[in-house]
Chains A and B, each alone.
Chain A
């Protein structure tokens, strides 16, 4: 186990480096968009253009640029944005709590709802509740998240002349009520798609587990129904559930941007979007690097959690 964890730890930086390399060199391919063209017009002389290029650090050979970027990154200097020449780090620092909050709430809702409904439908297989929740799940997986969020804004205003607050992010520590009024309704809806997928997975895995002999044994030796379902059943169905929840965290990068867009919240997603449209290399490079680190770390944690959930899992 320890050896496996160490090997994975050594492997992690490799993936991050490869991802960063791909990003860095793709952005600078000869036929890719040249950011300098965004800062010149027909009156710009060649000298001015060269000066801009040198200013952005794009005049050096690509390999040298990469070494400079990595060197700065290691020393904690993320460089300055092309667009406004602001240091990148404070811009990110300002925004990431927004994304963390959206992520935590949405994953919380999708996991709690998904697993609860999954257990209910598996235990009450073929009942009215089972059919009801399954229909809900099929629809939940088909309706785009942004459509749900739009309905959240449009329908209440149509029916009750009320619409949930939009914009005006405040920290949850400063004004929890205002913060939760802004974030709770949309994150609940953002969790619906994930909850639907998780519910279906929980249901099918649990039904498979319920057919096992040890469940019958547990019942036969007189354990209460709940104990059998939760301790013997759910615990053994947990591995795919954890895997899917991990995938939801990755997917929420998309959902978070959509939520930011509809509710006018300025988070990392917006920052990434604007930077991508203006070919702001330092920001794009760092955000890709950052995402890769988060995703790879999370995949490692998920793999290691398998051994905790199921003692039979051994990593040689």
Chain B
């Protein structure tokens, strides 16, 4: 009996519970799981930076004529070459980010942000509010975005505001349906019922319980809107309907396009790559965010 080994009761060492990894650790892990999303984020951050400061850091003013030999191909002094007016294409691409950024910003926050809020509001409170929002969404869905824009342009002229309003309205009713659906699902969850049972007011349930649970989806919608808005803006600029002289879409149209047909590809190809890259970034980031947050995909 003396040799009986006493197995001490396994006490759980509460002091050494593995702590939740810090914020930086968690972000690092997430980044490793979604390299494409990180790539997208980097491109978008670069886009935002160029949108804000592009004009200041461009090597030449975007509209300065004859900084070199017109139509010269890419060289070390002019990495993207020069267009037929002798303007530096590289500087124009960097400065052109500004218009795209401004329109994208308003589309995302005014359009997607407000649309999401309306969708959540309608989905949660239902009744006439929901009915009103959904029916006006259907009426606007009967306007393809370009038709809506051309109609607004006929009325209000080619101002930046017209474009922002047209693109933001498209985003408004795009985001709101998705969030309405998700909110209706959340509304019927047990936690909402419990909150009601403890006596929370409807507004408190809405703000403190429902909204935080659908918020991730709003961010997903926003990144999708960013890509769509840049595509829409560049297409309008390409058609000559844009508000700015220095814009990626504008630089690919008109005389530049005619000159590109005769072999000077660099005039139109670099702005096109810039648009594609930024939209690609927004799409990749959106996909990754959806993978991370979309409750329907989380198994």
Contacts and interface: CB of A to CB of B under 8 A. Distances in A.
Contact of B151 (A23, A146, A154, A296): A23
A288 B154 CA distance: 12
B144 A27 contact: no
Contact of B268 (A145, A150, A277): A150
Contacts of A29: 155
A252 to B, nearest CB: 8
Contacts of A98: none
A139 B296 CA distance: 25
A288 B151 contact: yes
Contacts of A151: 269, 272
B147 interface: yes
Given A33-B156, A284-B154, A291 B265 contact: no
Given A144-B272, A154-B261, A250-B144, A273 B239 contact: yes
Contacts of A27: 151, 154-155
A11 to B, nearest CB: 9
Given A22-B139, A144-B272, A258-B239, A150 B260 contact: yes
Given A142-B276, A261-B239, A284-B150, A147 B252 contact: yes
B252 A146 contact: yes
A287 B147 contact: yes
A113 to B, nearest CB: 19
B72 interface: no
A142 B154 contact: no
Interface in A16-75: 16, 18-19, 22-23, 26-27, 29, 31-33
Contacts of B157: 33
A155 interface: yes
B279 interface: yes
A228 interface: no
Interface in B70-94: none
B125 interface: no
Interface residues on A, range: 35 or more
A217 interface: no
Contacts, number: 135
Chain B interface bracket (under 10, 10 to 19, 20 to 34, 35 or more): 35 or more
A143 interface: yes
Contacts of A18: 139
Contacts of B138: 15
A147 B239 CA distance: 12
A150 B151 CA distance: 27
Interface in B234-263: 234-235, 238-239, 241, 249, 252-253, 257, 260-261, 263
Given A142-B227, A142-B276, A146-B238, A254 B155 contact: no
B144 A295 contact: yes
A305 interface: no
B34 interface: no
Contacts of B263: 157-158
B235 A145 contact: yes
A105 interface: no
10 contacts: A27-B154, A31-B156, A142-B279, A143-B272, A143-B275, A144-B275, A147-B275, A150-B257, A151-B269, A279-B154
Interface of A: 15-16, 18-19, 22-23, 26-27, 29, 31-33, 138-139, 141-147, 150-151, 153-155, 157-158, 163, 250-251, 253-254, 257-258, 261-262, 272-273, 275-277, 279-281, 284, 287-288, 291-292, 295-296, 299
